[in-house]
Amino acid sequence: MIRIYALIFVIAILGGIGYGAKYYYDTTQATIATLRENNVKLESAVETAEQSVATLKGDLVKLGNLNKELSVSLQKAEAYGDELRTKLSKLNLVVEALQDSKQLEGKMNGASAKLWRGLMEESGGDGKRPNPKWLQRVPDAGTGNQSSDQSGEGANTDSGETKTTPAQ
């Protein structure tokens, strides 16, 4: 009888060892499968992060270039502002208006005519349309009643009026 109990005991120990080995194998395989899935997810996340870093580096280079361009434009604008301040500090419009108002009027009207032509060109015109009569340019002689429009046209400032020319 002891032999039977010893045999049952040995079989039970071998069964327990076998069951333990099987349990260990199953849990190890499950852990390995989980680690593989996590590894795939991590590789995907790393790839996405690397692409993001590359994109950020590219954007940083673009922003640096744009910043340099803006700095150059700012310096030009500041230089132009300084130039304008210098010119305006040299001008004394009140004294000039009191001394020679006709010449100042001519200068102002000439600048207005230039601005008017520029606006006409920017808004789709050719800039050759005659200026309206209210934009007079005084010649250097000092008479302020002559029009800058030598053809005598341009009294109408209504841009809604269209002119038709005969077909050629």
DSSP state of 147: B
pLDDT per residue over 56-115, tens digit each?
999 999 999 999 999 999 999 999 999 988 887 777 777 777 777 777 777 787 888 888
Per-residue pLDDT at 146 exceeds 50: no
Mean pLDDT, residues 123-139: 64
Structure tokens at 39: 């590894």
Predicted confidence band of residue 151 (pLDDT cuts 50, 70, 90): very low
Q: What is the pLDDT of residue 119?
A: 82
Mean pLDDT, residues 148-163: 44
CA nearest to 147, candidates 96, 102, 88, 106:
106
61 or 158, which is more confident? 61
Per-residue pLDDT at 147 exceeds 50: no
Predicted confidence band of residue 132 (pLDDT cuts 50, 70, 90): low
Q: What is the pLDDT of residue 67?
A: 96
Structure tokens at 22: 């099987």
User: In sequence order, which residues have a C-beta less than 8 Å from that of residue 130 and are 6 or more positions away?
Assistant: 149, 151, 153, 154
CA distances from 154 to 23, 58, 119, 134 (A): 103, 55, 16, 9
Tell me the three-class secondary structure of 121-137, residue by residue. Answer: HHCCCCCCCCCCCCCEC
Q: What is the pLDDT of residue 129?
A: 67
CA distances from 122 to 77, 111, 116, 161 (A): 21, 16, 10, 19
User: In sequence order, which residues have a C-beta less than 8 Å from that of residue 148 and are 6 or more positions away?
Assistant: 109, 110, 113, 131, 135, 136, 137
pLDDT per residue over 29-52, tens digit each?
999 999 999 999 999 999 999 999
Interior/surface letters 61-88, b for 16+ CB within 10 angstroms, e for the rest: eeeeeeeeeeeeeeeeeeeeeeeeeeee
C-alpha–C-alpha distance, residues 62 and 9, integer Å: 78
* Percent of residues, the chain, with pLDDT higher than 90: 45
Q: What is the pLDDT of residue 157?
A: 45
Q: What is the pLDDT of residue 134?
A: 61
